Chains A and B, each alone.
Chain A
């Protein structure tokens, strides 16, 4: 394993260990996404059709992710542990990648419950939609880990995170909805893959400037 991969693994493992111990994030995400789906189930008129339900699924997933992102840097803020990581001689982008992978693990865990629940309440997801979920998750976690790090240093972080994140998540929702309902879902998957590639590189390259004063 390269030194960079070892650093990323150590940092992601640390986040998983913290979550297993504190159980701050994942239970909240699970409860939120299930409660949201139940609300949508009763809010949608019976004749609304599957397309409306697919649209609401993406809303539920993005806001569930936002809940997780809001907690993502809390352990680093307490005790100023982020300064300790920034001082370490590892590549600073490894801090971002470790956080993105841990957030991805939490989001996927929430979806393992949420997607069957969606199929139960509304309609099953087809293959392109599931691929869309994977690509959207990657986009959410790469971009979200960067903007939540930006927001974490602010006193108004609860306000700033959604203001920064949601505009950047609009293309993900467009791609996700397209992959779910369009007969040409592959085109939207390509769009999501492109988004993930571009924003992963931008986040990777810019993280260093986010964590230094």
Chain B
């Protein structure tokens, strides 16, 4: 059964077409790898899948509600003047995460942010901010994960950690991943969409 079904999806911002006639299907439990050069519409497509934008033309059906969707964007989607812990606590409340404190603590430990949990995000390095963004995206254990350049800003340790996470997640989650590090996720992909 398809989790995502796209038929001739197009998106225009003002006079500029950001995405032209994209069609694909993604089965539950599959991993769609989205590739393409800069400006080919990868981020636009992922924003459409996440529900942050609506197509100008075409049909896009997502068999998942917001509570089941995790989205990692170019930006971290967190507050820079809150601490890492406060950010995750806010999102944990909004997502109604059960046993919120335990889940947050476990993610912070796993992504190596436990020691920095009380620091404002504005003091984090780019790599730490990306790790926090990953914690935020995974906090509510989503069934559909949409990841836009997940390896961006991560050092080798962080990238290796994410490799292991994605391997675990790909077992029972549906993934949509846009990345230039194709070789890191090629073993997980069940479908590929190459945008021009």
Given contacts A79-B121, A83-B52, A212-B54, contact A88 B66 (CB under 8 A): yes
Pairwise interchain contact B86-A79, C-beta atoms closer than 8 A: no
Pairwise interchain contact B67-A89, C-beta atoms closer than 8 A: yes
Chain A interface SS verdict (over half)? helix
* A6-B96 Cα distance, complex, nearest whole Å: 10
How many pairs, one residue from A and one from B, have CB atoms within 8 Å of each other in the complex?
A: 79
Pairwise interchain contact B53-A78, C-beta atoms closer than 8 A: no
* A157-B94 Cα distance, complex, nearest whole Å: 28
Given contacts A14-B79, A18-B81, A212-B52, contact A90 B94 (CB under 8 A): yes
Pairwise interchain contact B136-A84, C-beta atoms closer than 8 A: yes
* A78-B54 Cα distance, complex, nearest whole Å: 23
**Interface membership of B185, Cβ < 8 A:** no
Total interface residues on A, using CB and 8 Å? 25
Pairwise interchain contact A17-B52, C-beta atoms closer than 8 A: no
Partner of B50 from the list A75, A78, A87 (CB cut-off 8 Å) is: A87
- Smallest distance from the beta carbon of A195 to chain B beta carbons, Å? 31
Pairwise interchain contact A17-B86, C-beta atoms closer than 8 A: yes
* A10-B87 Cα distance, complex, nearest whole Å: 11
**Interface membership of B166, Cβ < 8 A:** no
Q: Name the residue on B nearest A80 (C-beta).
A: B75
Residues in B with CB closer than 8 Å to A81 are 77-79
**Interface membership of A86, Cβ < 8 A:** yes
Pairwise interchain contact A10-B90, C-beta atoms closer than 8 A: yes
- Smallest distance from the beta carbon of A123 to chain B beta carbons, Å? 40
What 1/0 mask marks residues of chain A from 1 to 24 whose CB sits below 8 Å from any chain B CB? 001001100110010011001100
Q: B52, B81, B121 — which one has the most chain A CB atoms within 10 A of its CB?
A: B81
**Interface membership of B65, Cβ < 8 A:** yes
Give B residues with C-beta under 8 Å from A: 13, 47, 50-54, 65-67, 69, 71, 73-82, 86, 90-91, 93-96, 120-121, 136
17 sample A-B contacts, Cβ–Cβ < 8 Å, listed by A number: A6-B93, A7-B93, A10-B93, A14-B79, A14-B82, A21-B120, A78-B80, A79-B80, A80-B75, A80-B77, A81-B78, A81-B79, A86-B52, A87-B50, A87-B52, A88-B94, A89-B95
